[in-house]
Amino acid sequence: MIKGLKEFLEGRISTLDFVDGVIPGEIKVGSATGENLIVKYKYATVSGAKLIAKSGSSIQEVFVITRFPERLKRVIEEE
């Protein structure tokens, strides 16, 4: 997992009562710089939602299993 993502997922996402699971996805190297973790909601999926996490030049997909993707979107956008 990219820097800071595990702590974010364990502390802010997996503890939500409407989240049934979190599946970290593929890590890609991008061209952006910076060390701060940024997590954005991308879109709803059949089983929940897809998030994109960026830290430094790394980008990682995260899939969240939930029946309430809109609630998850609100939580992510409050960050």
Domain boundaries, the chain: 5-78
Q: What distance lies between CA 29 and its chain's CA centroid?
A: 16
In angstroms, rounded to a whole number, what is the distance separating the alpha carbons of residues 48 and 7?
A: 21
Percent of the chain with pLDDT over 70: 99
pLDDT tens for 27-64 read: 998 776 777 899 999 999 999 999 999 998 899 999 99
Task: Please give the order of strands across the beta sheet that includes 19-29.
Answer: 19-29, 58-66, 48-55, 38-44
Give the amino acid at 64. V
Model pLDDT, residue 30? 77
pTM above 0.75, yes or no: yes
